[in-house]
């Protein structure tokens, strides 16, 4: 089994040493690939090394753990906040962190977090492999509570929500998933989907009309309206024409 690659970000050397000691002495199958004593360095290290897991202090001198999350481009890294204040827990989960640990971190707490992270990573790989074997056209996405397999042709449009996205489905369901819009562009067929706006990707097969009023708006599936940026308008119209020719 591959070792779980971990980064620790905290502006207190003692706090980094405590977590490092627990990981090295009491946890199997882990590797600390980097540490950072500031939020800025933490962002750089996580973006460069793309670890499986990052322990991040919420309160640092130069910024907060929330700032670190906003600066991370690798959305596959799971985040565990480390804090001395439990009041940050609610906000932490709003930022879609995997978990949080109260300072001073204990052996059992760290072991419990690692156990759940490992189970999550194993299940994600299993579902991805299963999806590829069953149907290469379908995609695997993670929600906050589960891993699901989706037929991309049932997606009417995708809207960015911070570092994550909401899928608006043909059955009128909305699915919040932990993938960025940029990641979806790598998964979907660009002949069938088009990015109409910096925060929106639409399924061309659901386009009903384009309304040129108060800026350009696209009507989808007779129920949704999404923006069409001015600089993408001509390309979008050509794309629609070619898809129906």
Q: Is residue 114 part of a domain?
A: yes
Q: Is residue 23 part of a domain?
A: yes
pLDDT band at 202 (very low <50, low <70, confident <90, very high): very high
3-state secondary structure of 132: helix
pLDDT band at 109 (very low <50, low <70, confident <90, very high): very high
Q: Which domain holds residue 94?
A: 4-129
Q: Is the dihedral of CA 118, 120, 121, 123 positive or negative?
A: positive
3-state secondary structure of 79: strand
For residue 198, CA distances in Å to 9, 60, 195 come to 31, 32, 7
Q: Classify residue 135 by its DSSP letter.
A: -
pLDDT band at 86 (very low <50, low <70, confident <90, very high): low
pTM more than 0.75: no
Same domain, residue pair 114 and 20: yes
For the domain that residue 76 is a member of, what is the CATH number?
3.40.50.2300
Tally of structural domains, the chain: 2
For the domain that residue 207 is a member of, what is the CATH number?
2.40.50.1020
- 108, 129, 150 - which closes a domain: 129
What own/partner pairs with CB < 8 Å and gap ≥ 24 does 211-216 have? Answer: none
Q: Classify residue 208 by its DSSP letter.
A: E
Residue with structure tokens 């037929």?
A: 151
pLDDT above 70 as % of the chain = 87
Same domain, residue pair 201 and 232: yes
Scanning the chain, the segments in alpha helix (DSSP H) are: 13-26, 39-49, 65-71, 89-94, 107-134, 181-187, 233-243
Average pLDDT over every residue of 201-221:
87
Q: Is residue 147 part of a domain?
A: yes
Same domain, residue pair 59 and 166: no
Same domain, residue pair 8 and 124: yes
């Amino acid at each position: 089994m591959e070792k779980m690659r971990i980064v620790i970000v905290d502006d207190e050397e003692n706090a980094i040493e405590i977590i490092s000691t627990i990981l090295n002495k009491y946890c199997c199958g882990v590797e600390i690939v980097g540490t950072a004593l500031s939020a800025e360095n933490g962002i750089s290290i996580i973006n460069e090394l793309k670890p499986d897991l990052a322990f991040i202090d919420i309160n640092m001198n130069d910024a907060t753990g929330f700032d670190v999350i906003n600066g991370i481009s690798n959305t596959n890294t799971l985040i565990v906040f480390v804090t001395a204040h439990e009041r940050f827990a609610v906000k932490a989960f709003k930022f879609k962190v995997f978990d949080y640990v109260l300072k001073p971190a204990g052996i059992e707490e760290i072991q419990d977090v690692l156990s759940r992270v490992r189970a999550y990573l194993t299940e994600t790989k299993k579902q991805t492999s299963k999806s590829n074997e069953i149907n290469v056209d379908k995609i695997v996405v993670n929600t906050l509570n589960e891993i699901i397999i989706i037929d991309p042709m049932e997606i009417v449009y995708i809207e960015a929500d911070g570092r994550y996205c909401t899928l608006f489905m043909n059955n009128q369901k909305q699915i919040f998933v932990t993938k960025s819009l940029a990641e979806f562009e790598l998964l979907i067929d660009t002949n069938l989907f088009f990015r109409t706006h910096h925060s929106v990707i639409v399924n061309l097969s659901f386009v009903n009309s384009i309304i040129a009023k108060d800026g350009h708006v696209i009507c989808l599936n007779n129920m949704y309206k999404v923006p069409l940026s001015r600089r993408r308008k001509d390309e979008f119209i050509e794309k629609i024409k070619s898809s129906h020719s």
